[in-house]
Amino acid sequence: MNDLLPDARHPIALPDHDLGYQYDPRVVAGLHGEIKLSQNVETYCQCGGKSPFMIFNNQAEEPAWCPCRPYRMQIRRIDRYLKNSGIPAPFRYKYLHDFREHYEDGQPIPGAYELKMRLNTLIDTVQNSESTSGSAPGANTTLKPNKGFYFWGNPGGGKTYFSYIALNELMFHFVRPGKFISLSKSFQEIRHTFDEDSVMHGQALQILENLSTVPFLVIDDFGVQRNTEWELEILYNLIDSRYANQRLTIVTTNQNIDELKELAQGRIYSRLIEMCYIIHASAPDYRERGVRRNGT
Ligand SMILES: [Zn+2]
């Protein structure tokens, strides 16, 4: 053992709100910035960032892991989760600081403040538990944020955009995978699995299992007026297993949650109100707002 180095299996003592990595928004490759080590961890790094992140010290009999390694592995995981999340590439590295709370004229965007506050509360849960437990990075995998969002309002209110940001933030802070789906596309995908000519043939259960267990799920464009009994049953089973597994779910929709009371004997409704904060984005869409402003 080398006394001069922190034990690489344990985290470097970091101040609150330092995860050991951070997002640097300076543009790389024209699309987004990158997640990199925080400055505190950077000062301990002796491997120069070269995989497999080891230190070769003359005095040590064996090469040792560089203290940066657990943090670099976390960054790799976050990048991989992002890539597989279903979030379109231009929105993969959007975080809360990209989220607008105000219109250009300075008026608050309805619902935006509440969303931001709720998301910050979730994130604080992680940071507090990490700084008080002193556990190794990645050890927070059993920590489950409890409630997601049922985010409803008319089109144009930025609901989908916010859901990208929420998912990005959750994956970034919890270092757990997340998935973004559109409900109608997912139903289509499941239907294809019954087609013998499809490469997806026979995979319905696998798809549903993945959606039921992924730690964070965004169901975008959740609309149920036109759904068949078959679809409603699938939807209920999905919501119910996420509820049972205590997985965080974010729903964006144009529908007031009261409209769900009549569906599937009210079962979808009753699950969702337990799993989600109901947030109304009463924002008029930008175009409509422009008209109103010009008209008054
Ligand atoms: Zn290093």
CB 283 within 8 A of CB 110: yes
Give distance in angstroms: CA of 21 to centre of ligand 1.
13
What's the mean pLDDT in 156-172?
Answer: 90
Q: pTM of the entire structure?
A: 0.85
Tell me, what's the pLDDT at 129? 57
pLDDT digits (tens, 9 = 90+) for 106-158: 888 777 888 889 888 888 776 655 544 444 444 444 456 678 999 998 887 78
Tell me, what's the pLDDT at 128? 59
Give distance in angstroms: CA of 64 to centre of ligand 1.
10
Integer Cα distance of 53 and 96 in angstroms? 31
Tell me, what's the pLDDT at 23? 95
Q: What are the extents of the domains in the chain? A: 1-83, 89-295
Sign of CA dihedral 213, 216, 221, 222: positive
Give distance in angstroms: CA of 70 to centre of ligand 1.
9
Give distance in angstroms: CA of 49 to centre of ligand 1.
5
pLDDT digits (tens, 9 = 90+) for 14-37: 887 889 999 998 877 667 889 999
Give distance in angstroms: CA of 50 to centre of ligand 1.
7
Give distance in angstroms: CA of 146 to centre of ligand 1.
34
Give distance in angstroms: CA of 283 to centre of ligand 1.
47
Integer Cα distance of 201 and 250 in angstroms? 28
Query: Of 2, 133, 21, 131, which Cα lies nearest the Cα of 65?
Result: 2
Q: Over 80: is that where the pLDDT of 163 sits?
A: yes
Identify which has the larger pLDDT, 45 or 11.
45
Tell me, what's the pLDDT at 294? 35
Give distance in angstroms: CA of 37 to centre of ligand 1.
10
What's the mean pLDDT in 54-79?
Answer: 88
Give distance in angstroms: CA of 124 to centre of ligand 1.
27
Give the confidence band of 100 by pLDDT, cuts at 50, 70, 90: confident
Give distance in angstroms: CA of 68 to centre of ligand 1.
4
Residue 211 has a CB neighbour count (10 Å cut-off) of: 20
Tell me, what's the pLDDT at 295? 32
Give distance in angstroms: CA of 93 to centre of ligand 1.
24
What's the mean pLDDT in 2-10?
Answer: 46
Exposure class string for 126-153: b at 16+ Cβ within 10 A, else e: beeebbeeebebeebeeeebeebbbbbb
**From 8-12, 49-53, 213-217, 218-222, the region with the lowest mean pLDDT:** 8-12
Give distance in angstroms: CA of 159 to centre of ligand 1.
39
Give distance in angstroms: CA of 5 to centre of ligand 1.
12
Tell me, what's the pLDDT at 1? 39
Residue 64 has a CB neighbour count (10 Å cut-off) of: 19
Give distance in angstroms: CA of 65 to centre of ligand 1.
8
**Domain with residues 89-295, CATH architecture:** 3-Layer(aba) Sandwich (3.40)
Give distance in angstroms: CA of 23 to centre of ligand 1.
18
Exposure class string for 224-233: b at 16+ Cβ within 10 A, else e: beebeeebbe
